[in-house]
């Protein structure tokens, strides 16, 4: 078993590579972030309050909005979806979202959306708990399945005046899907650009606490109920010959989607990673990093000199430095606005300098210059071996836009062994991180244009079983334009 990591501006991922198939198990960054929230949130259960139920039914029969003070007793059958699991539209960073406090709705131009997987058809009853004024509550609506639901009743938790917590009942809709389907529920103002524009502001926000669902349509529904809103990280574990002594690893990647906060990692192995990121709307990077030896998880200043990887060389315009927090090592990146849909090419080589040291070098093919360039080369101590645990992955490292789809193609992959023989990689196994086990099920793998694809996020249909293998057809042959960069055959 070997441990490999990946990092972005202090965002570090790790993966366990298991046995001869090098099956990528989990993304340890996500696991470590979640240890303090290890208990699965099933949903809070409350006792029913008969009086409040009658009030809500009476108000609904009149078709008008009423305000009644009562104690908070949600039905035991309700599914409670925390406010802090929602996404903000159209600007994912447009509102403040906090665990146990929900969404601070301070801008009328933003809306709040939850998305879940609904497995059963039938009536779906919908409520939202929010701290707001009566005037604000009266101007809210909830969109689901193309319908705009208006407020049916407004039951206040306390005296019915001022900005206080209220249970806002939006009535019900009929779910008619024949098979499980992702459905979004969006809370918004009726006229955010017009008369409602001044209803919500930083000085008078609405605090959205939770979404409550009930009825046959809510049965077996699945939502992410945890604070982490990132899509699951998804991995390709490449099948190589058992015991292969790999000294070169080549992969091509084509990004299909390009949300900010995406890392398409092309060449991963037991000591490092190499790939491309979308860091902001105006910045993208080519990243190559290698891990230190030893067990220090956070502070590189604590890493003994004999355990540190050392920078040997780097390309023009490449930044190099340290990284820490959940692993330490040497990091390098080139700022380059790579284009979505264009083919990016990556090559990693390894060369043992003695029995306990190996130099790992990362080369990237520059599309404009049409030539290979060195990103960086690092000498790793306590190594002296070749690469193993070859893999690729796709990661959503910003949770604010975890509702957006991410997809990339990984293909024409090859590895060379010490005897100089090249081997095409045609089989890969699918895996995912902890988030993909139970929280986010919108993650899949497949074959497209004779390349493996990874897709996650977006609440799109598709689900791939953990460990499922895929095999693509062999290609016409490997590229040879990088042969001059390869270590000499021993």
* H/E run at residue 263: strand 262-269
- Token pair for residue 394? 């796709």
Q: How far apart are the first and last CA of the chain?
A: 27
- Token pair for residue 204? 């008078």
pLDDT band at 75 (very low <50, low <70, confident <90, very high): low
> From CA 425, how far away is CA 297, in angstroms rounded?
32
- Token pair for residue 251? 């992969």
CATH number of 50-218: 2.60.120.260
The reported pLDDT for the residue numbered 159 is: 52
Residues 156-210 have pLDDT tens digits of 775 545 568 999 999 999 999 999 999 999 999 988 777 777 888 899 999 999 9
Task: Tell me the average pLDDT across 69-87.
Answer: 78
- φ, ψ of residue 400 in degrees (nearest 5): -60, -30
The percentage of residues in the chain with a pLDDT greater than 90, rounded to a whole number, is: 72
Residues 259-304 have pLDDT tens digits of 999 999 999 999 999 999 999 999 999 999 999 898 887 888 888 8
Q: Is the pLDDT of residue 482 over 70?
A: yes
The percentage of residues in the chain with a pLDDT greater than 70, rounded to a whole number, is: 83
Task: Tell me the average pLDDT across 60-75.
Answer: 43
> From CA 289, how far away is CA 40, in angstroms rounded?
34
The reported pLDDT for the residue numbered 411 is: 97
User: Among 60-69, 77-86, 271-280, whose mean pLDDT is lowest?
Assistant: 60-69
Using alpha carbons only, how large is the chain's radius of gyration in Å? Answer: 26
Where do the structural domains in the chain lie, given as residue ranges?
2-36+228-485, 50-218
Q: Are 193 and 109 in contact (CB under 8 A)?
A: yes
Residues 344-393 have pLDDT tens digits of 999 999 999 999 999 999 999 999 999 999 999 999 999 988 999 999 99
Residue the block writes with tokens 């009149």: 62
Other C-beta atoms lying within 10 Å of the C-beta of residue 203: 6
Q: What is the largest CA-CA distance in the chain?
A: 86
Q: Are 130 and 168 in contact (CB under 8 A)?
A: yes
Q: Is the pLDDT of residue 103 over 60?
A: yes
Q: Is the model's pTM score more than 0.85?
A: no
Q: Is 311 helix (H, G, I), strand (E, B) or coil?
A: strand
């Amino acid at each position: 078993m070997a441990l490999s990591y990946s990092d972005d501006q202090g965002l570090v991922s790790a993966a366990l590579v298991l046995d001869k198939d090098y099956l990528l198990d989990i993304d340890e960054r996500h696991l470590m972030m979640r240890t303090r929230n290890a208990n699965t949130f099933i949903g809070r259960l409350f006792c029913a309050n008969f009086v409040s139920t009658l009030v809500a039914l009476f108000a609904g029969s009149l078709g008008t909005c009423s305000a009644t003070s009562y104690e908070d007793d949600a039905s035991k059958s309700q599914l409670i979806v925390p406010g802090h699991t929602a996404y903000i539209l159209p600007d994912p960073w447009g509102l403040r979202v906090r665990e146990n406090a929900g969404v601070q709705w301070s801008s009328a131009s933003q809306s709040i959306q939850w998305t879940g997987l609904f497995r059963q058809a039938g009536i779906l009853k919908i409520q939202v708990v929010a701290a707001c004024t009566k005037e604000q509550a009266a101007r809210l609506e909830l969109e689901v399945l193309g319908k705009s639901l208006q407020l049916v009743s407004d039951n206040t938790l306390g005296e019915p005046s001022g900005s206080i917590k209220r249970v806002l009942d939006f009535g019900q809709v009929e779910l008619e899907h024949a098979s499980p389907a992702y459905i979004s529920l969006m809370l918004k103002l009726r006229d955010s650009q017009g008369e409602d524009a001044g209803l919500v502001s930083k000085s008078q926000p609405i605090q959205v606490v939770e979404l409550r669902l009930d009825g046959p349509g809510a049965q077996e529904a699945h939502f992410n109920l945890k604070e982490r809103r990132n899509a699951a990280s998804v991995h390709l574990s490449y099948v190589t010959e058992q015991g292969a002594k790999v000294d070169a690893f080549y992969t091509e990647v084509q990004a299909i989607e390009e949300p900010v906060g995406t890392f398409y990692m092309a060449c991963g192995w037991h000591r490092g990673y190499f790939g491309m990121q979308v860091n902001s709307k105006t910045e993208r990077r080519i990243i190559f990093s290698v891990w230190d030896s030893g067990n220090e998880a956070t502070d590189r200043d604590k890493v003994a000199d004999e355990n540190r990887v050392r920078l040997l060389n780097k390309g023009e315009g490449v930044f190099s430095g340290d990284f820490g927090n959940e692993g330490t090592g040497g990091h390098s990146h080139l700022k380059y606005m790579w284009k979505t849909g264009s083919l990016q090419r990556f090559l990693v080589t390894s060369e043992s300098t003695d029995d306990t040291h190996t130099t790992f070098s990362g080369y990237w093919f520059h599309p404009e210059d049409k030539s290979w360039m060195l990103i960086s080369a690092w000498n790793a101590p306590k190594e002296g071996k070749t690469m193993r645990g070859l893999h690729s992955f796709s990661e959503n490292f910003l949770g604010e836009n975890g509702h957006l789809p991410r997809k990339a193609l990984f293909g024409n992959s090859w590895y060379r062994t010490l005897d100089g023989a090249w081997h095409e990689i045609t089989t890969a196994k699918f895996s995912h991180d902890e988030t993909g086990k139970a929280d986010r099920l919108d993650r899949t793998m497949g074959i497209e244009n004779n390349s493996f694809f990874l897709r996650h996020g977006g609440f799109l249909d598709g689900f791939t079983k953990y460990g499922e293998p895929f095999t693509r057809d062999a290609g016409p042959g490997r590229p040879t334009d990088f042969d001059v960069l390869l270590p000499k055959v021993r």
